[in-house]
Amino acid sequence: MENIIKALQEIQHNGKKPEILVDCCTDDKEYNKYRKVFNRKFHYRPTAIVLCECTEHVQQALLIAEKWHHAIRVRSGGHDHEGECCGTDTVVIDLSKMTKVVVDKEQGVARIQPGIRFNQLVPELGKHDVCIPHGTCGSVGIAGFTMGGGWGPWTRIHGMCCESLVGATIVLGDGTIEQLSEGGGRSKEELLWALRGGGGMSYGIVTELVIKTFELPPNTIKFNVEWDDSPAMSVLKLWEGLIAPGNNPRLIGTNLMIAAIPKPPAGSDINETVHECTFFGYYAGSNAELVADINIWFADLWPTDITIPDDTDDVTKMTGFAAWDRISASKALLRSARNRSLKAPRPNLNSATPLRADTIPPDQDPPGPHKITCRIVAEERWNDEGRKTLIRSLQSDLVYAQGIAAGIQCYVTLGAITGSYYAGYKDPGFPKGSAFPYKKRPYTIQYQAWWDEGKQEIEEGIEYDVNKFSNRAQDWIEECRKLDFPETSGSFISFKDADVPTRNYFMQSYEQLKKIKETHSKDPRNRFRTRKTII
């Protein structure tokens, strides 16, 4: 142990040394900070954490770990839902200090280091009037996001972020540093294809991504719409209609959250059961245009609440769960606004992270223990039976009212894939396209269970303890994974569940990805390995 730590402490490049954090040190504050992952269900104690600041630091740390036969993990944002970016008795190659961004407007690309998170990246790109297809959560790092596919608020019009990846710097298993680019030769193009949605770490350690940018539209709006007393089936069908190919191009991205509920009495009509539903929308247009569209979209199923930020709101604090100061527009107000121009929303420029009005602010979701699994709607088989199975899976005797009161959150989020980008997608053929296998699917179904360990709530003299219900919430996730659901197939690696077979994540790309790993990664002993890497 002492030998490998000593060797790691000797890493340097151009006189600059990375900080090395080790277990059982005198001051363990920083070690404990960096060993944490976003999913607080997992707690690991790495042998050492190497806070790399350049590609050469990564290269040297990798070779030292190989020399001493020590397992490695690679971490940028730390959001891996199964905690595979960290591990006990491992060397964690931490990229979180590699946050440089260089925008080349002439070439239409941004060169982005892997440690930057969206709450830093989006404002930085906005300074140059450009953006990339980023994600919704501000604390997610760009590297794992892109290599997993990269769903977000721009997906309907710009596709998954991996589709915009045109180059990368990668450290291979033997320490070789490669510059990958389109037209760089067959082996480099194949590796680049694998990085476009083939999962992280399998093929090497990426230390820079080159991603195509797009010009920001004149204005964008992030808004929420909620139903508290409407049938979930009706809300689901409404949302599906809005995201159908060719529909609503100004709706650049959206996801729908439907809450799970305790199992209703026998004989309840699945078409009429009520679940709390929240429509998260990302819109390219003015406030007046959004108001007009809302009046059309929801005329026959009016929401309980509509949230549109105005120029006094700090939109950087608008999240999926946290309450925030907001304006709730009534049906009458929205209808009366049809023929008048409303001021376009503006972010609070006094906020800690100023954002332009034409950027989509990432959510500020806090870390917490959780369990996730995922399915993908099979377009050719999706029908009312599939919708009923989906709603029925959200009605369970493993979901308790007392657990909800204590802070257990069980729900699905449905992430729209379909839109103008994939509707018009023309496959350029391997290896020019991407490894992301779900280009023609309508949307993802992401089952989620979140809780806060040790949390207790007292309401009207009744004590609700979250620890009594967190295991049952995870059992619900297990049931949803095993569900007989033939109208769906596959799973999305960004919503990682270690119990889903690896092939399910990569589908028709799986065999080709394994071949690329074996042929090009220069990793004969498979050091680039976690439970859900390609091999």
For residue range 284-305, what is the model confidence (pLDDT) as tens digits?
Answer: 999 999 999 999 999 999 999 9
pLDDT value of residue 328: 34
Q: How far apart are CA 37 and CA 44, in angstroms?
A: 9
Residue 315 binned pLDDT confidence (cut-offs 50, 70, 90): very low
pLDDT at residue 214 is higher than 80: yes
Task: Give the list of residues 6+ apart from residue 428 with CB closer than 8 angstroms, or none.
Answer: none
Residue 23 binned pLDDT confidence (cut-offs 50, 70, 90): confident
Region for residue 92 given its phi and psi (left: phi exceeds 0; alpha: psi -120 to 50; beta: otherwise): beta
Q: Considering the chain, what percentage of its residues have pLDDT values greater than 70?
A: 88
Contact 176, 55 (CB under 8 A): no
Region for residue 185 given its phi and psi (left: phi exceeds 0; alpha: psi -120 to 50; beta: otherwise): left
Between residues 345 and 101, the one the model is more confident about: 101
Q: Residue 220 corresponds to which tokens in the numbers above?
A: 């964008």
Give the tens place of pLDDT for each residue, 427-448: 899 999 999 999 999 999 999 9
Between residues 142 and 29, the one the model is more confident about: 142
Largest CA distance in the chain: 74
Give the tens place of pLDDT for each residue, 37-96: 999 999 999 999 999 999 999 999 999 999 999 999 999 999 999 999 999 999 999 999
Residue closest to 276 by CA, chosen among 463, 460, 404, 382:
404
Region for residue 305 given its phi and psi (left: phi exceeds 0; alpha: psi -120 to 50; beta: otherwise): beta
Lowest mean pLDDT among 22-26, 253-257, 267-271: 22-26
Residue 309 binned pLDDT confidence (cut-offs 50, 70, 90): confident
Give the tens place of pLDDT for each residue, 155-200: 999 999 999 999 999 999 999 999 999 999 999 999 999 999 999 9
Peptide bond into 431 cis (omega under 30): yes
The residue-averaged pLDDT of 450-473 equals 77
Tell me which residue has tokens 């493993």: 398
Q: Residue 79 corresponds to which tokens in the numbers above?
A: 């959001």
Q: Residue 128 corresponds to which tokens in the numbers above?
A: 């140059």
Residue 379 binned pLDDT confidence (cut-offs 50, 70, 90): confident
Provide the β-strand partners of residue 251. 283
> Based on C-alpha coordinates, what's the Rg of the chain?
23
Provide the β-strand partners of residue 328. 307
Query: Domains in the chain, ordered, with CATH?
Result: 2-94 (3.30.43.10), 101-216+516-520 (3.30.465.10), 220-336 (3.30.70), 370-505 (no CATH)
pLDDT value of residue 452: 85
CA angle 310, 316, 321 (to 5 degrees): 95
Give the tens place of pLDDT for each residue, 380-392: 899 999 999 999 9
pLDDT value of residue 329: 35
Q: No. of H helices and E strands in the chain?
A: 16, 22
10 Å CB burial of residue 214 (0-12, 13-18, 19+) is middle
The residue-averaged pLDDT of 512-526 equals 97
